[in-house]
Amino acid sequence: MNYYIGLLSGTSVDGIDAAIVAIDDSNIKLITTHMQAFSGQLKTDLQNIIKSQTVSLQKISDTDSLLAFEFSQAIEILINKTDINKDKITAIGFHGQTIFHQGEGNHKNTMQIGSAHMLAANTGIKLVTNFRNLDMAYGGQGAPLAPIIHQKLFATNSHNTAVINLGGIANISFIGKDYQQPIGYDVGPANCLIDEWITIHKQQDFDKDGNWARQGKLQETLLKQMLDDSYFQKPPPKSTGREYFNCKWYDNFIELFKTTSALDIQTTLTHLVAASIAAAISQQKYKITEIILAGGGAKNSFIQQLIQQYCNLEISTASQHGHDPDWIEAMLFAYLAYMRITKQKLNLSS
């Protein structure tokens, strides 16, 4: 087996995920991992860039360089955790940090920063990158890419499965018996809105295990209005991100927000995650009999409970299938690098 590194920072903007993965034609194995929080200034700069409609080119350029430096640090620490020599790493599958994504319209585009050239120079390791841009160049939406790894890790010929990655955005993959190729798209918000809301009102980075949301009451009228949003009404293929689902999105419901407590809004936002997933599954042509959860949200037992309640299907997490839910995406980018280096074709339906 050959060694690859998967390297990314996700839509939650919490830090860097780096993993060494051993891969050959039939197997993929996670060897070691490293999660590195962004330095305080870098995290602040990234959040401001993503939220702002106007930002200076110098700020983007400076952040691009600083990101590459911190990614390089993460790679060095990762490799030092093992007895694997750097020259044994075939390539790094590098995603970077998405600061803008527009998967639809006449001018589809996506922007990830974190200078690939600086990273390659700093590490001395071959780099494979620009996955989303490439997908868009050939007519795709650039997101989600996760169905590729979901198919590799979880597909079975006995039944159909929905694999849901609960990061900042919830993306879903349909795989299994009736799906010759995986089908995937972005369902809507997962952690991005509930994290943002608890940060505003409780000064916490995230709602651990959904403990705050559990205390509130679902506001059904508000949930219905949220689900009536045009994004949820679009048929797939579709993709989205923080450039759409952010605190400005709340302006659509400003009158209801005025008469609803912050706690009940948090509860309703958490229900929104489960309700939108249930709607996506119900629209499938083939019967889905199992749900597998991955990503940070897979550790939120309240979200798990709500998904079970709304979908009424057997639910498990990636860890119950032998894969750490926190490291599926890093494995994805290592696997994409492997596919590129070995010149294997990918075909992903959305």
Domain count for the chain: 2
pLDDT digits (tens, 9 = 90+) for 194-234: 999 999 999 999 999 999 999 999 999 999 999 999 999 99
3-state secondary structure of 180: strand
Per-residue model confidence as pLDDT tens digits over 173-186? 999 999 989 999 99
Tell me: do 271 and 158 sit in the same domain: yes
At 139, the pLDDT band (50, 70, 90 cuts) reads: confident
Residues 194, 338: Cα–Cα separation, whole Å? 35
How far CA 44 is from CA of 150, 231, 246, 295, 320, in Å, comes to 32, 28, 16, 23, 35
Structural domain span for residue 57: 2-141
Res. 350: pLDDT tops 80: no
Summarised one tens digit per residue, pLDDT across range 326-337 is 999 999 999 999
My answer on whether 235 and 174 are in the same domain is yes
Asked if residue 198 and residue 99 are part of one domain, the reply reads no
Query: Is residue 345 assigned to a domain?
Result: no
Q: List pLDDT tens digits, range 111-122.
A: 999 999 999 999
Residue 96: which CATH number? 3.30.420.40
Determine contact, residues 48/38, Cβ cutoff 8 Å.
no
- 268 & 158 share domain: yes
Distances (CA, A) of 15 to 12, 71, 166, 228, 274: 8, 10, 16, 33, 25
Q: Does the residue 69 lie in any domain?
A: yes
Last residue of a domain, one of 116, 141, 166: 141
The DSSP secondary structure of 30-91, one letter per residue, reads: EEEEEEEEPPHHHHHHHHHHHH-S---HHHHHHHHHHHHHHHHHHHHHHHHTSS--GGGEEE
Among residues 107, 141, 175, which one ends one of the domains? Answer: 141
Q: What global pTM score does this model have?
A: 0.90
- Residues 317-328: tens digit of each pLDDT: 999 999 999 999
